[in-house]
Amino acid sequence: MPTTDVFRARAFRLALTFSFAISAATVAAFAFVYLQVSHADVLRVGAVLVDEAAKSESDSDDRLRRALELRLTRDIRRLDYVALFDPSGAKAFGDVDAMPPIPADGAAHVVAQQRLPDSTRFEPALFVARRRPDGAVVLFGRSLRDVYDLQESVLKALAIALLPTVLVILAIGAVFARRATQRLERIRDAILRIIRGELGSRLPEGEGDDIAKVAEAVNLMLDEIERLLDQLRSIGDNIAHDLRTPLTVARTRIARALDEDAGEASLRSAMDAALVQIDRASLTISAILRVSALESSARRKQFKAFDLSAVCIEIAEYYQPFAETKRIAVTVEAAGPAPMLGDADLVREVVSNLVDNAIKFTPEGGKVRVEIAMAEGFPRLAVSDTGPGVPLPDRTRIFRRLYRGPGADTAPGHGLGLSIAKTIAELHGFHLSVEDNNPGACFVMQATVKAAAGLAYAA
């Protein structure tokens, strides 16, 4: 992985931004501390100088000179300035040759450039000048060298503390950026494999963060795409198989009638048989198109509230005469209304298909039971019978398009009824499955996720 990719990574840019923010905050904090300390130090020195100048106003000349001389003697570090100027402005005593450009008002003033005694160097200093009753001016000063030394110390401390912090933050950012870049590279490699046709490949989901959630959603989408493609291949094979039979039969009958010296009645019989096979093929194609139309989910816009219990009772009454011919008892168990939001005609088709299959595969004298109940605010439908049941391996296959399980070869139909029923159930946010009724089978339609497909059910 190129190093430049790490520096261009979002994690490294965030770390860089964070390091700048930390630097700015640190500089601001140090600047605040420095200004507060420097200002406090200048105020303290100024207050001392003002107090000394005020006391010297009433001292005699001799006493003032002794005091100034004592001050200079004790100033080992050469930080203090003292001077006495006569009324004409000439220096009478002290280590300041000329009066600084400040008023003799007894207040503290900062002089940016003050020449050091017996030197050509300059430094900032704080001065207080006060005029005595005789017109002379007494001057007290203090070098601000210590304050500037403090400033330099603060700047050094800032550099020493800030540089390692920034380097550590950038190093952490580089590590995270490298990890993120490697992770994106793995995702990119997986996408390229999928583009090349390896539909079984999946994106690495990783650590449960936002990228992992996106990868998980993409993997679910790929699972669905792979399922649909497998279903599409299976549909193609089944269509070829189911259409080949009626078309072959129709062609054979027509060819045989044409080859033989048959009369008009024989030709008409052959044509009628061919039409039956062609109608069978047409019905298969129409049923497949109907499933595709249902999967488009455009009918959700027309959903309305209806009572699932009333639909089940209506279907049971409709199939009662057919069930009686096989001495099959059809019962409906509903504790009360089962409100549902959806397309009542489509749901009626699901119930009809399940009840029809139950009666069709239940032997004479058996039972078919339709149960409707409410579970957590959602209707639950169960249609059970006492027939042969559905073998475990076929409990998912029977919902595929054009699939006909064992024992269904002799029954009328083209293997799309349960596929249509499952599609309608999913259109309404329900899941259709089959369980063991011991004996027989039990088909259950119940809500999956309460907010599935954004549907809301009637309360």
Residue 220 belongs to a domain: yes
Question: How high is the pLDDT of residue 234?
Answer: 63
Is the pTM higher than 0.75? The answer reads no
Residues 373 and 261 in one domain: no
One-letter identity of residue 76:
I
The token duo for 37 is: 């300390």
Residues 346 and 438 in one domain: yes
Residues 5 and 104 in one domain: yes
Residue 314 belongs to a domain: yes
Question: How high is the pLDDT of residue 400?
Answer: 77
For residue 2, give the CATH number of its domain: 3.30.450
Question: How high is the pLDDT of residue 454?
Answer: 43
Among 199, 230, 254, the domain boundary falls at 199
For residue 223, give the CATH number of its domain: 1.10.287
Residues 181 and 230 in one domain: no
Among 199, 231, 263, the domain boundary falls at 199
Three-state helix/strand/coil letters over 326-356: CCCEEEEEECCCCEEEECHHHHHHHHHHHHH
Among 280, 295, 310, the domain boundary falls at 295
Residues 174 and 263 in one domain: no
Residues 123 and 29 in one domain: yes
Residues 7 and 145 in one domain: yes
One-letter identity of residue 83:
A
Residues 400 and 256 in one domain: no
Residue 459 belongs to a domain: no
Residue 204 belongs to a domain: no
State how far the Cα of 139 lies from the Cα of 56, in Å rounded to an integer: 10
Residue 390 belongs to a domain: yes
Per-residue pLDDT tens, the chain, 459 aa: give them: 455 555 555 656 666 677 777 777 777 777 777 777 777 777 888 788 888 878 777 777 777 777 777 776 666 556 677 888 888 888 777 777 788 888 888 888 888 777 766 666 778 888 888 888 888 888 888 888 777 777 777 777 777 777 777 777 777 777 777 777 777 788 888 888 888 888 788 888 776 677 788 888 888 888 888 877 776 666 666 666 666 667 777 777 777 777 666 567 777 777 777 787 777 677 666 666 666 666 555 556 678 899 999 999 999 999 998 999 999 999 999 988 999 988 888 899 899 999 999 999 999 999 999 999 988 888 999 999 999 888 888 888 888 766 666 655 555 555 678 888 888 888 888 999 999 998 899 999 998 754 344 444 443
- Residue pair 201/193 in contact (Cβ under 8 Å)? The answer is yes
Domain span including residue 425: 301-454
The token duo for 386 is: 């006492």
Q: Which residues pair with 130 in a beta bridge?
A: 105, 138
Question: How high is the pLDDT of residue 412?
Answer: 57
For residue 343, give the CATH number of its domain: 3.30.565.10
Question: How high is the pLDDT of residue 367?
Answer: 94
Residue 369 belongs to a domain: yes
Residues 172 and 287 in one domain: no
Question: How high is the pLDDT of residue 98?
Answer: 80
Question: How high is the pLDDT of residue 442?
Answer: 95
Instruction: Count the domains in the chain.
Output: 3
Secondary structure (3-state) at 13: helix
Residue linked to tokens 């475990």:
392
Question: How high is the pLDDT of residue 441?
Answer: 93
Residues 312 and 347 in one domain: yes
Residues 185 and 230 in one domain: no
Task: For residue 439, say if its preceding peptide bond is cis, omega within 30 degrees of 0.
Answer: yes
Residue 205 belongs to a domain: no
Residue 103 belongs to a domain: yes
Ordered strands of the 91-94 beta sheet: 91-94, 80-85, 137-143, 122-131, 105-115
Residues 68 and 100 in one domain: yes
